[in-house]
Amino acid sequence: MQDKIVLITGGSAGIGYAVARAFKEEGATVVITGRDEGRLADAAKRLDADWVAADVASAADCARMVDYTADRHGGLHVAVNNAGVLGRPGPLADLDTADWADVLDTNLTGVFHAMKYEIAYMKEHGGGSIVNVASNIGAHQRVPGLAAYAASKAAVSVLSRAAAREYAAAGIRINAVSPGATDTTMTYLPGETAAERDARITPSMPLGRLADSAEVAATVVWLASGRSSFVVGHDLVVDGAASA
């Protein structure tokens, strides 16, 4: 990843932060995005990375983050579209329309917005690699109470593969990664301790543990790199056989 310029949405915490750190360790120039400027600035300082505030639910913000990255750093070689929300858990019929829309706007429409401008730039500048972060909850596994999240992440998997077919000939490799339960704040219920979280989740994990975010990040870096040059339009599940 030496001399590569990488844009990561949702890069200030969780899997996105681990992905940013992994790319930095590989020698890339990294730009992270998110909605919270304070958290972004702090994360970027710890990573020795750049940042730009952007809400992926806004098409204008996505256009601006791509322009900022290319103008400030001289290009865009890799994009990792990771920004996402879990939403309010509950049975489908009890979901408010606003809750449904919030999850879809960020998790699905946000990926569409980001890819729209990333692809446009890459088409004009010799190609690139895009990795979209989906989830094993969706196309691979369903969990009661997370219908909106599952629908949005299944759609990210399909959207990634559809776009891959459209832009492979332009030198743009598009893939998805579908992590399982990972040791991040998103896996906690309100007020839950780490021990309580682990006791709730690990019985369904064949490896008896959650993933470390670095394990997911390593997969993202591999998919984005030339080491996976013939992998296009793939949804790579990283969940320790939970959905096998």
For residue 90, give the CATH number of its domain: 3.40.50.720
> pTM value?
0.96
Angle at which helix 110-124 crosses helix 147-167, to 10 degrees, equals 20
CA distance 176 to 79: 11
pLDDT band at 219 (very low <50, low <70, confident <90, very high): very high
In a domain, 87, yes or no: yes
Higher pLDDT, 1 or 158: 158
CA dist 37 and 141 (Å) reads: 34
Give which of 26, 4, 222 is closest to 122, Cα–Cα: 4
* Residue 149 annotated in active site: yes
pLDDT score recorded for residue 164: 98
pLDDT (0 to 100) of residue 106: 97
Q: Residue 157 and residue 143: Cα distance in Å, rounded?
A: 17
pLDDT of residue 150: 97
Please provide residue 192's backbone torsions phi and psi, each rounded to the nearest 5 degrees.
Answer: -85, 140
At 140 the pLDDT is: 96
- Amino acid symbol at 31: V
Residue 46 located in a structural domain: yes
- Three-class SS of residue 21? helix
**Residue 21 has what pLDDT?**
98
Tell me whether residue 44 is in a domain: yes
Per-residue pLDDT band at 94 (split at 50, 70, 90): very high
Say what percent of the chain tops pLDDT 70: 100
- Residue 76's contacts (CB-CB under 8 Å, 6 or more residues apart) are 5, 7, 66, 69, 70, 118, 121, 122, 125, 128
Range of the domain at 230: 5-238
- On whether residue 224 sits in a domain, the answer given is yes
Considering 17, 68, 117, 149, which one is annotated as catalytic?
Answer: 149
Mean pLDDT value of segment 88-111:
95
The number of domains in the chain is: 1
In a domain? residue 244: no
Mean pLDDT of 144-161: 97
Do 66 and 113 meet the contact criterion of CB atoms below 8 Å apart?
Answer: no
Cα–Cα distance measured from residue 143 to residue 120, given in angstroms and rounded to the nearest whole number: 36
**What is the chain's Cα-based Rg?**
17
In a domain? residue 129? yes
Residue 48 confidence (pLDDT): 97
The residue-averaged pLDDT of 86-101 equals: 94
> Does residue 243 form part of some domain?
no
- Residue 98 tokens read as 């606003």
Packing angle, helices 110-124 and 59-73, rounded to 10: 40
Q: Rounded mean pLDDT of 108-130?
A: 98
Q: What is the mean pLDDT of residues 17-25?
A: 98
Rounded-to-integer distance, Cα 172 and Cα 115, Å: 11
Residue 66 maps to a domain: yes
Q: What span, in angstroms and rounded, lies between the C-alpha atoms of 172 and 10?
A: 22
Token pair for 185 = 């704040």
**Mean pLDDT in the chain?**
96
